[in-house]
Structure 1
Amino acid sequence: MRKPAGTSFEDWIERQVREAQERGAFDGLCGAGEPLRGLDRGFSADQWAADKARREGFDVTGMLPPALALRREREVLQRDVHELVSEAAVRAVVDDFNDRVREQYRRPADGPPVVTALLDVEALVQEWHRRRPPVPAPPVVEPAPGGRLARWWSRRRGRGGAH
């Protein structure tokens, strides 16, 4: 519906709201009769975007300032270190993290200082060993008939014995 010429937007919108109320279009809505939440705090577009992202199930760590993002990453790395696939991967991830923390310290602060401690590589490697799932034992290979193990190329060609 278009606004009629010669009518102010305020009058036109008020009339539409009043007519909708008379039709009962607002009856039974979720939260009807309750005060609006958040009116007691100031409006921030950043806060609105973060709230919207959380409601829709998105990760909001990408919206954090770099220093806070590093702090969050440190917490997650300490919590989930056991999910890395090898000790070398743990060392590489921790070294990369520590390099980025050092780089952050070298930059001028663009807000209140946020201290992020470096990670202890050896302590996280020990934690990884302690919390990782046990490695299954390798399968036992039974010798082929005749007492000798069949060579891989013999098995591939369909010949069962050793040559």
Structure 2
Amino acid sequence: MSSWYESRIDRQIREAQERGEFDNLPGAGKPLPDRGTAYDEDWWIKAWIRRENLTGLAPTSLRIRKEAEDLVRTLTGKPSEQAVRESVAELNERIRRARQGLVDGPPVLLDTFDPDEVVEIWREQRARPGDPTSKNGAVGG
């Protein structure tokens, strides 16, 4: 059911459409980003941090989540098994503190990492230096 009344804004939009001002916009005809991926309740803050390049300004709990996400990728820079184990132990302690609510930011529900699994992935990476994400980054415990 159409209305005989057209607001000023509706008229401006209709006229812009008729002039073709909405044609060929970036992303037109492309699927929505992230369609088909699992819902992330923190999508908006992650997008904001990425868009504004706000590295280091996120709450502690979000920085811990990001470190956990990037753990497998950052293993390549570790010079020894002991360095890997120390890094995992430090991250696990920070995860424990975050899970107890002892840091600022949204809640953290991450599992701690099994140091032996992480060391095994590190060894695989060293055997195949061209593939920094062996095992698809699936580590946890």
**Given the two structures, how large is their TM-score scaled by the length of structure 2?**
0.49
Larger RCO of the pair (alpha carbons < 8 Å, separation 6+): 2
Structure of greater Rg: 1
**Given the two structures, how large is their TM-score scaled by the length of structure 1?**
0.43
